[in-house]
């Protein structure tokens, strides 16, 4: 019996997609430069169907790619040629919300923001908040250990996953962790989160919820130079304050964001810094006095403090729209995600500017200043001969710079397809060999999202450029 | 006993012997497992801070470095490790702390060891030095070996170097307490407190006296107003209490000491059997119990890690076995140089 016939034994026709028209919408994810057509897409409605199809793939050695909303910026959900896609959006139930004990158990297709929405009436929220949270799913967050703007203080997805149940590529259903924040033995939950779909598929995820902060103090500061903005961040760090978020945008990004959402950012600032404090009222009152002094001493050109939660949202809207906004400045662009030691941010930005000038390519910069996570946006026009290659070359140079500075080739987007060739620049041969052995323990036949994370031979085809369709519509934006 | 001084020497010691066991400060020696017939390798001389960057919120140190030395170094720069692993005064090492995975009361505020570990360098069972993670606070490259190593009890690899994140230490500290009429009220109050945006630094429950003990940190000037709003009292015996938590003082010297991961709903069941020799820590996420009878601890029906006491099983209570566990142990330790893995 052929594969499609076997799949038809598990899925009814309306949830087994094989025609070209249906398959097209699954060919790419947020890394729109690549596309690949799978043999079929299946849409399970429950965990049993997921287990059945994974077991079928294990028996027939058919590669599979699990997919949430396809917002991965590193090609994590890019289909594998000759493989199938397992679309998990219908596993979207919140199985349990225990607000008393601050736990939620959810299926992988649950949208990230939805968790915070159901927790909100109890004064709780799910801390990891990537900019795509309106549509990205918990399953995807687990696969890529997604971040957000509040990582320095509260960590990433992995720090908020207490346990999970998964079907491994071998077909075995395994449970890791549980409902407690504490555990015994090697942390298998921690190993699974961020494994980029190479181990199996999470079926149930147990999440930790936190109380929402009592008050926020959000400041938008304009500077004459990027240097000064970076310097201000250093001063905040040395002062002993631990803000919830610190973000910087450069002139190109500011202009684009203003054109798009009109958040009232300072018109002639070369850089803006957003600093957000959060906590108990009395504590924040004291911290604000300290922050005011630091910002006053930092040479700030303009300072705007959010007077209420609406203004706070406005300030954030500017930052969160930056990527899509910059994307409109140019027919095509590459979003990067490197990390450098925080104190070398200024140096890293100078070098990026120099590299961009040398390559005659515009680069806008948006970044999580608190943890050194850069997001250079490399703008180009694919219609221009050789432009895409020059942009890719520049992207590679920037990544190498991050590694050379002792940082990381990815802060939150993951390696995926996009950066797999750079993995050996960050890790030695033995380290990568160990990662492959560990992968083989979960997936001896390499059928779970093969071709991702590890350097590979086959290259996927290049496709359309520019923004993800949902980005163009303003439904999602990039972190 | 072998005492390597560098990661490479540690690797060579392991390569040279068929069966090994690693020990650090011996403050949690029972967790090493059965070392009969094994070459003991000590990290006593594998110590020293390799790098400390206060501006980057990170430090890297060799596994045998004493936590007391690290604490002092951080304090000089107004920084600390919020997860406050126990047995610092008893000679705990950084590597031992991570391998044991025991989190202190301060883990309530910002997380435990798993939330502060950034990178590891370890010797695997094939005698290779392996790096996992990195040296920056934000990193999504490669599999998360640093997290996997937390709580792995030296069964998957011998930790050689570790990189951890640190935070600025708030200036002010208050010891607080709340007395409740009975255990049920104490548990209810614990949940209420944990659901409020009070940013408590630690939150413990004593089933024997149905008391809640907690800490507040932050601006010294703001502490009393915060305390008043929370409705708690200053705890004059706080200093002694938190010291005892740090030394895991519980029960009689010969008792077994167990770490039992729970949720607040399970407090009553644990208290039922162990009321006086029990401290519930990290807002009801772990129960520490002391008892003379391993069977009684196992009889709770919840997996428990036996941290101290006479020889015997490392984990009692229900166990989860998976083919994956065997495969993973094999990936890290194909020739079974290290003691059997503990995966629950």
Q: What is the mean pLDDT of chain B?
A: 96
How far apart are the C-alpha atoms of B341 and B154, rounded to whole Å? 8
Whether the pLDDT of residue B302 is over 90: the answer is yes
Compare CB distances from B282 to A145, A181, A453 and report the shortest one's residue. A181
Which pLDDT belongs to residue A203? 98
Which chain A residues have a beta carbon less than 8 Å from that of B195?
99-100, 102, 122-124, 211
Among B148, B169, B330, the residue with its CB nearest the CB of A191 is B148
Contact yes or no for B41/B22 (Cβ under 8 A): yes
pTM: 0.96
- Cβ separation of A184 and B323 shorter than 8 Å? no
Residue B224 distance to chain A (closest CA, Å): 9
> How far apart are the C-alpha atoms of B265 and A161, rounded to whole Å?
19
Euclidean distance between CA atoms A425 and A406, whole angstroms: 11
A299, two tokens:
């040479």
3-state secondary structure of A5: helix
Residues 6+ apart with CB under 8 A from B143: A191, A194, A195, A435, A438, A439, B132
How big, in percent rounded to 5, are the helix, strand and coil portions of chain A? Answer: 40, 20, 40
pLDDT > 70? residue B62: yes
Residues facing residue B213 across a β-bridge: B177, B204
Q: Report yes or no: A248 and A366 within 8 Å, Cβ to Cβ.
A: yes
pLDDT in tens, chain A (479 residues): 799 999 999 999 999 999 999 999 999 998 887 889 999 999 999 999 999 999 999 999 999 999 999 999 899 999 998 899 999 999 999 999 999 999 999 999 999 999 999 999 999 999 998 888 989 999 999 999 998 888 889 999 999 999 999 999 999 999 999 999 999 999 999 999 999 999 999 999 999 999 999 999 999 999 999 889 988 998 998 899 999 999 999 999 999 899 888 899 998 899 999 999 999 999 999 999 999 999 999 999 999 999 999 999 999 999 988 887 887 888 888 888 999 998 888 889 889 989 999 999 999 999 899 889 999 999 999 889 999 899 999 999 999 999 999 999 999 999 999 899 999 999 999 999 999 999 999 999 999 999 999 998 665 555 444 555 555 555 455 55
The confidence band for B229, taking pLDDT boundaries of 50, 70 and 90, is: very high
Distance from the Cα of residue B38 to its chain's centroid: 25
Q: Say yes or no for a CB contact (<8 Å) between A101 and B264.
A: yes
Torsion of CA A130, A132, A138, A139, to 10 degrees: -110
- Report the run of H or E that residue A358 belongs to, with start and end: helix A345-359
Token pair for A364: 């806008």
- Subunit contact B138:A408, Cβ cutoff 8 A: yes
Count the Cβ atoms, other than its own, within 10 Å of residue A424: 13
Interface of A with B in 120-149 (CB under 8 A): 122-124, 144-145, 147
Contact A211 B196 (CB under 8 A): yes
A145 to B135: CB separation less than 8 angstroms, yes or no: no
Residues of chain A found within 8 Å of residue B226, distances taken between Cβ atoms: 280, 282-283
B188 DSSP assignment: H
pLDDT for A331 equals 85
Q: Number of H helices and number of E strands within chain B?
A: 11, 18
Q: Using the predicted structure, report yes or no on whether residue B248 has a pLDDT greater than 50.
A: yes
pLDDT at A464: 42
The pLDDT assigned to A347 comes to 87
The stretch B213-241 carries a mean pLDDT of: 96
Q: How far apart (Å, rounded) are the C-alpha atoms in residues B70 and B97?
A: 12
Residues of B in contact with A194 (CB under 8 A): 140, 143-144
Q: How confident is the model at residue B275 (pLDDT cuts 50, 70, 90)?
A: confident
**What DSSP state is assigned to residue A269?**
-
pLDDT > 70 in chain B, percent: 100
Residue given tokens 């705890």 in the structure block: B235
d(CA A306, CA A220): 8
Chain A (364-423) residues lying within 8 Å, Cβ to Cβ, of chain B: 368, 371-373, 406-415, 423
Q: What is the model's pLDDT at position A465?
A: 44
Mean pLDDT, range B301-329, rounded to an integer: 94
DSSP state at residue A268: T
Higher per-residue confidence, A151 vs B300:
B300
> So what's the ipTM on this one?
0.97
Helix (H, G, I), strand (E, B) or coil at A432: helix
Q: Is the pLDDT of residue B222 over 70?
A: yes
Question: Cβ contacts (< 8 Å) between A440 and chain B: which residues?
Answer: 327, 331
Burial A356-370 (b: 16+ CB within 10 A, else e): beebebbbbbbbbbb
Q: Do B140 and A413 touch (CB under 8 A)?
A: yes
Residue with tokens 């540690």: B10
In our burial notation (b when 16+ CB lie closer than 10 A, e otherwise), range B167-180 reads bbbbebebbbbbeb
Note the residue count of chain B: 344
- Smallest Cβ–Cβ distance between B143 and the set A180, A191, A368 belongs to A191
Residues 6+ away with beta carbon under 8 Å from A207: A103, A104, A105, A106, A115, A126, A138, A160, A161, A162
Sign, CA torsion A402/A408/A413/A418: positive
The number of angstroms, rounded, from the C-alpha of A162 to the middle of its chain's C-alpha atoms is 20
Nearest Cβ partner of A407 from B136, B219, B262? B136
């Amino acid at each position: 019996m052929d594969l499609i016939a076997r799949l038809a034994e598990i899925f009814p026709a309306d949830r087994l997609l094989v025609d070209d028209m249906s398959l097209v919408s699954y060919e790419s994810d947020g890394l729109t430069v690549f596309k690949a057509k799978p043999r079929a897409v299946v849409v399970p409605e429950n965990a049993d169907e997921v287990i059945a199809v994974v077991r079928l793939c294990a028996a027939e050695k058919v590669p599979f790619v699990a997919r949430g909303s396809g917002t991965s910026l590193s090609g994590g959900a890019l289909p594998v040629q000759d493989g199938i896609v397992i679309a998990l959006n219908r596993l979207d139930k919140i199985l349990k919300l225990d607000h008393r004990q601050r736990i939620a158990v959810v299926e992988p297709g649950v949208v990230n923001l939805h968790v915070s929405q159901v927790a909100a009436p109890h004064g709780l929220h799910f801390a990891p908040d990537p900019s795509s949270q309106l549509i990205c799913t918990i399953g995807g967050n687990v696969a890529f250990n997604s971040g957000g703007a509040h990582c320095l203080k509260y960590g990433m997805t992995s720090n908020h996953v207490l346990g999970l149940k998964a079907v491994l590529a071998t077909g075995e259903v395994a449970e890791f962790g549980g409902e407690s924040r504490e555990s015994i033995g090697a942390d298998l939950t921690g190993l699974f989160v961020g494994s980029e779909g190479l181990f199996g598929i999470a079926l149930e995820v147990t999440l930790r919820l936190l109380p929402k902060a009592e008050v926020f103090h959000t400041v938008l500061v304009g500077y004459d130079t990027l240097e000064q903005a970076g310097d201000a961040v250093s001063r905040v760090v040395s002062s002993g304050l631990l803000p919830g978020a610190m973000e910087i945008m450069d002139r190109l990004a500011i202009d684009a964001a203003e054109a798009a959402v009109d958040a009232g950012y300072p018109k002639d600032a070369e850089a803006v810094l957003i600093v957000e404090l959060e906590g108990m009222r009395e504590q924040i009152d004291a911290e604000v006095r300290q922050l005011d002094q630091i910002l006053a001493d930092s040479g700030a050109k303009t300072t705007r403090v959010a007077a209420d939660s609406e203004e706070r949202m406005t300030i954030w809207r500017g930052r969160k729209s930056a990527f899509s906004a910059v994307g409109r400045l140019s027919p095509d662009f590459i979003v990067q995600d490197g990390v450098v030691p925080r104190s070398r941010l200024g140096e890293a930005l100078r070098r990026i500017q120099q590299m961009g000038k040398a390559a005659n390519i515009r680069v806008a910069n948006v970044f999580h200043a608190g943890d050194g996570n850069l997001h250079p946006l490399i703008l180009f026009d694919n219609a221009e001969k050789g432009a895409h290659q020059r942009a890719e070359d520049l992207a590679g140079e920037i990544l190498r710079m991050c590694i050379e500075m002792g940082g990381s080739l990815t802060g939150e987007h993951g390696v995926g397809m996009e950066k797999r060739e750079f993995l050996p620049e960050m890790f030695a041969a033995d380290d990568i060999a160990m990662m492959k052995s560990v992968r083989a323990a979960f997936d001896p036949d390499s059928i779970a999202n093969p071709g991702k994370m590890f350097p590979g031979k086959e290259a996927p085809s290049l496709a359309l450029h520019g923004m993800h369709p949902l980005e163009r519509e303003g439904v999602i934006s990039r972190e | 006993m072998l005492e390597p001084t560098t990661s490479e020497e540690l690797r060579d010691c392991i390569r040279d012997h068929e069966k090994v066991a690693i020990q650090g400060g011996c403050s949690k020696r029972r967790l090493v497992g059965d070392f009969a017939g094994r070459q003991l390798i000590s990290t006593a001389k594998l110590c020293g801070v390799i790098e400390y960057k206060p501006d980057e919120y990170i430090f890297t140190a060799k596994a045998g470095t004493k936590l007391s030395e690290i604490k002092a170094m951080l304090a000089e720069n107004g920084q600390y490790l919020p997860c406050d692993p126990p047995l610092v005064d008893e000679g705990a090492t950084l590597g031992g702390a991570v391998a044991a995975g025991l989190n202190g009361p301060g883990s309530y505020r910002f997380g435990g060891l798993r939330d502060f570990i950034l990178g590891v360098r370890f010797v695997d069972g094939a005698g290779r030095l392996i790096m996992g993670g990195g040296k920056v606070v934000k990193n999504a490259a490669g599999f998360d070996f640093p997290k996997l190593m937390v709580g792995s009890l030296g069964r998957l690899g011998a930790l050689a170097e570790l990189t951890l994140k640190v935070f600025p230490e708030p200036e002010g500290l208050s010891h607080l307490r709340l007395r409740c009429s009975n255990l049920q009220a104490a548990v209810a109050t614990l949940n209420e407190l944990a659901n409020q945006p009070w940013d408590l630094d630690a939150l413990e429950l004593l089933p024997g006296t149905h008391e809640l003990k907690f800490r507040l940190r932050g601006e010294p000037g703001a502490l009393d107003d915060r305390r008043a709003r929370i409705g708690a009292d200053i705890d004059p015996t706080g200093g002694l209490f938190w010291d005892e938590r740090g030394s895991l003082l519980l029960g009689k010297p010969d008792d077994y000491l167990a770490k039992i991961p729970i949720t607040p709903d399970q407090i009553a069941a644990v208290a039922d059997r162990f009321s006086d020799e029990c401290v519930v820590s990290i807002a009801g996420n772990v129960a520490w119990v002391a008892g003379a009878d391993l069977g009684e601890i196992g009889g709770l029906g919840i997996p428990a890690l036996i941290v101290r006491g006479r020889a015997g099983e490392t984990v009692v209570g229900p166990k989860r076995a998976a083919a994956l566990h065997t495969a993973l142990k094999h990936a890290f330790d194909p020739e079974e140089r290290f003691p059997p893995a503990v995966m629950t």
